[in-house]
Copies of this chain bind each other. A is one copy, B any other.
Amino acid sequence: MTLSPGPVPLYHQLEQDLRERINAREFKAGEALPTEERICGEYGVSRITVRRALETLIAEGLITKRRGVGTFVTPPPESGVRSVRLSGSLDEFLASAGALATKVLSMQEIQAPDEAVRGLRLAPGEACTRLDLLSFLEDAPLGYHNLYLPLAIGRKIKPVDVGQKLPVIRMVEGKAGARVVRAEQFLEADIAGPIASKYLNLQENTPVLKVTRIYYDMTGAPVEMIVARNHPERYRYSIDFVAKPRIV
């Protein structure tokens, strides 16, 4: 296919065409996309154009870049599982998240637990940095957070960097020299458990909302993973759905 000069920018035409080819399963889930060079040749466009198109598809989560390996079509969700997937603006989310008062409980390098291996795409047994945090709202404990960082990023951060009136990820971006373009957030129910219950003054078996959020950079690599358990009476999670206005 050749792209045509005109009002629609080339990178946008390319992005649309690649999206269609992925949706038509010409490139299948889990498989690699052609290299940037091949895409340049096939469409007769520059490397910059190809990169811009791929960046958009990465930001949408349709493809994933593995550094030094290639770009792969993101596999679809498992069968037998209902996935309710919403989308939102990261900038607005972080602006509204604002800066809670945060206390660092501990910071250490550990062998990554399973959830961090999966979330940060580490090798089994690989080490990572773990920060345990407690957030406060009007002096009352609000959330108990486990924050995981790849070791290379964790080593650039000190406990004193946390809680400087900035969402933690913004501080991490600065220290790591990364730019976060996307985050995935999962919501589950859990019990408070022995540790969070202590910090949040709850019974161990109190149901709490467990929020897992993974931030990704422009290459699709995970930069930070945070697992939060929140106080059920001080944390509300709501979504407003608005219908498209109809002209009256």
Interface residues of A (CB under 8 A from B): 48, 51-52, 55-56, 59-61, 77, 79-91, 93, 96-97, 100, 137-138, 140, 142, 179-191, 205, 207-210, 230, 232-246, 248
Contacts and interface: CB of A to CB of B under 8 A. Distances in A.
A232 B188 CA distance: 7
Contacts of A100: 82
Contacts of A189: 188-190, 207-210, 232
**By CB atoms of chain B within 10 A, which of A52, A142, A180, A209 has the most?**
A209
Contacts of A91: 243-244
Contacts of A232: 188-189
Nearest to A138: B80
A85 B239 contact: yes
A137 B236 CA distance: 28
Nearest to A215: B241
Contacts of A86: 86, 88, 93, 238-240
B234 A82 contact: yes
Nearest to A83: B236
Given A52-B248, A88-B88, A207-B207, A186 B82 contact: no
A53 to B, nearest CB: 12
Contacts of A184: 238-241
A83 B244 contact: no
Given A242-B87, A243-B90, A244-B89, A237 B80 contact: no
14 contacts: A55-B248, A79-B138, A81-B233, A81-B235, A83-B236, A83-B238, A86-B86, A86-B93, A90-B244, A182-B242, A183-B240, A185-B241, A186-B238, A187-B238
Contacts of A51: 248
Given A80-B137, A82-B142, A180 B236 contact: no
A185 B238 contact: yes
Contacts of A182: 240-243
A179 B242 CA distance: 12
